[in-house]
Amino acid sequence: MSKAILITGASTGLGAETARLLAPGNDIYVHYNSSADAAQQVSADVEQAEGKAYLMQADLTTDDGCRALVQSVFEKTDKLDVLFNNAGGLIRRTPANACDWSLMQEVFTLNTFSTMMMTSLCIPLLEKGDDPCVINNSSLATRHGAPTATIYGAAKGAINSFTMGAAKELAPKIRVNAVAPGVILTPFHDKVTTPEQLELWQENTPLKRHGHAMNIAMAIKFIIENDFITGETIDINGGLFMR
């Protein structure tokens, strides 16, 4: 049966690849904020793969933006099977001794507040879904400390906690999980990582390579298809962090 899948931040990187992978036979709500051309291309790819694409713009760093996006989804469907809270970013690197209030607000709003708000607002739609699930995008930065990304790591760490709490509250109807990607080559790193940093991380990774967006998209598909997983944050990082 066709699934209704909302992916936030589906214009580039992990969200875009997940939209393409999940497209066949499904309704994909392709959300973007500023990358309109890229999002349009993702929608075309979804349709090419025999999915139905609904393109939706919203800035998820505001309450109004989250509400407007969910209202647009409400206008197209009376149920949601999957919410992938993927939109996010590091914004900029800063040492722990130079925290700045506006950066902390920006990072937590983009990553944490948007994830919690979107989950909350989508519950009425998810309750009408078929084996509905929420998947949040966390990070390796929550696992073993990430120098210069401590604010981002803290914001994503809150997502891990939220994932467990929401999984218990929303069970048994709605499953809630997260993925914690390691270093995945997407536009994310163009903005905040130097080639030297990438090289060092690759050297420290047991598999001696970085991940690709498809590695995360496949994990999202696995979580959707396995109806006995909830409250989990799944690590996908080439062995850079092991439990």
Ligand X SMILES: NC(=O)c1ccc[n+]([C@@H]2O[C@H](COP(=O)([O-])OP(=O)(O)OC[C@H]3O[C@@H](n4cnc5c(N)ncnc54)[C@H](OP(=O)(O)O)[C@@H]3O)[C@@H](O)[C@H]2O)c1
Residue numbers at the binding site for ligand X (CB under 6 A): 9, 11-15, 32-35, 59-61, 86-89, 110, 137, 139-140, 181, 183-184, 186-188
C-beta closer to ligand X: residue 59 or 131: 59
CB of 5 to ligand X, least distance (A): 15
CB of 236 to ligand X, least distance (A): 9
Contact assessment for residue 195 and residue 151, using Cβ atoms and an 8 Å cutoff: no
Of the candidates 29, 32, 54, 152, the residue annotated as catalytic is 152
C-beta closer to ligand X: residue 9 or 132: 9
For residues 28 and 48, what is the distance between their CA atoms, to the nearest angstrom?
12
Whole-Å CA distances, 98 to 93, 104, 148, 149, 156: 10, 11, 10, 12, 19
User: Closest residue (Cβ) to ligand X?
Assistant: 13
N-to-C CA span, the chain: 36
CB of 68 to ligand X, least distance (A): 11
C-beta closer to ligand X: residue 142 or 230: 142
Nearest 5°: the CA angle 37, 41, 24 is 150
Q: Which helix (H) or strand (E) holds 162?
A: helix 150-170
Q: Is 152 a catalytic residue?
A: yes
Report the catalytic residues.
152
